[in-house]
Structure 1
Amino acid sequence: MRISIKENGGLAFFPGLAKPRSVELATLPEPDQQELRQLIQAADFFKLPQSKVPESGKPGQVHYTLTVTEEDREHTVCVLAPVKSQALDGLVQCVRRHCRS
């Protein structure tokens, strides 16, 4: 499984510098893999409405584009920050943390 995240918007946003970052679950320790899988399940990620365009918001507002690829399926969701769903926010923050490592 691969999870990609792209952060857009905000006051210091430069579109040319905003590149998606990814994490391969197979490269992580088992507890981290389990945490990410649990967060995906808790957020019911593959049942969320698919979107690659941010929800309407204020200009300069941060939004995240999150893509999860698992075997033969891929799903992309774009959400505004702060993320309203606690489960989805947990997933976004966990992926961001692992992409920085």
Structure 2
Amino acid sequence: MKWQRTLLIVFLCLCIIFKLQLAAYPAVNEIIQITLERTGGFAGITTTKIVNTANLPIDKANQLRQLIHNADFFNLPTNINSKPPHPDRFKYKIIVEKNGQRHTVVVNEEAVTRELQPLIKWVRDLEY
């Protein structure tokens, strides 16, 4: 009986700690949706990929959150273009929705920033 009481106390303590961690890191629970549309290229084919963190394993969802943060996505300009744009290159339209906030960035392939490139690659290559 004593071991059951000890086990219950340990369990309750873990529950409290877990809830405190979630409260301290609310981003773990926030739902983010990203849409990546790629147009252009030699064939002119359009592809669209939509990823929602609610449908991802926790580790993948956290990777996506970190990539969006690292790209400083919500502070990027709406259009990022190279001068002059090259024919037959890809153009990306990236839409991120988070906490009722929505931001769209359109970027030519040759103008993709060092910070934005890992996000595009991750979404493009994601299989789940």
Q: Shorter-chain TM-score: what band?
A: 0.7 to 0.9
Name the SS for the 1:86 alignment partner. Answer: coil
User: Counterpart of 2:74 in structure 1: which amino acid?
Assistant: F
TM-score (norm. length: structure 1): 0.82
1:4 aligns with 2:47: no
Q: Which secondary structure does the structure 1 equivalent of 2:44 belong to?
A: coil
Tell me, in whole angstroms, the C-alpha distance in 1 between the residues paired with 2:81 and 2:111. 11
User: Is residue 55 of structure 1 aligned with residue 85 of structure 2?
Assistant: no
- What SS does the aligned partner of 2:43 have? coil
Contact kept? 2:81, 2:111, Cα under 8 Å:
no
Moved over 3 A (4+): none
Structure 2, unpaired ranges of 5+: 1-31
> What is the percentage of aligned positions where both structures have the same residue?
33
Structure 1 or 2, whichever has the larger Rg, is 2
Normalising by structure 2, report the TM-score. Answer: 0.66
Q: Is the 8 A contact 1:83 1:89 kept in 2?
A: no
Report the RMSD for the aligned CA atoms in angstroms. 1.8
Number of positions where the alignment pairs a residue of Structure 1 with one of Structure 2: 95
The structure with higher relative contact order (CA 8 Å, sep 6+) is: 1
